[in-house]
Amino acid sequence: MQEAAALLSLLQGEDGLSIHKACKKLGLSMSEMMRLLALLGDDASLGGLNLVEQRKDGARTLLCLNARGRGALAAALADSQGR
């Protein structure tokens, strides 16, 4: 779960980051990233949490927080500040 939190945090600061740069910054292989995106993506059949979306920009795949992902991060931040 640390990788999921790290990716969400990374995208909070660099929304629209290429999948390859995200892999490099997090020290993940592409296979590990794809499994992580299955968890955080919108595919309900894979148990996705619908927090991150993948967008195509030509040949590049960009990772972006969707509205639900931004809301979840804002709520987590508010919760941590309220303690």
CATH code of residue 77 = 1.10.10.10
| pLDDT value of position 44 | 82
Say what the pTM is.
0.88
- Total domain count for the chain? 1
pLDDT at 34 over 70: yes
Residue 37 belongs to domain spanning: 2-81
CA 47, distance to chain mean position in Å, is 15
* Cα 67 to Cα 55: distance, rounded to the nearest angstrom: 14
| pLDDT value of position 43 | 86
* Cα 67 to Cα 49: distance, rounded to the nearest angstrom: 12
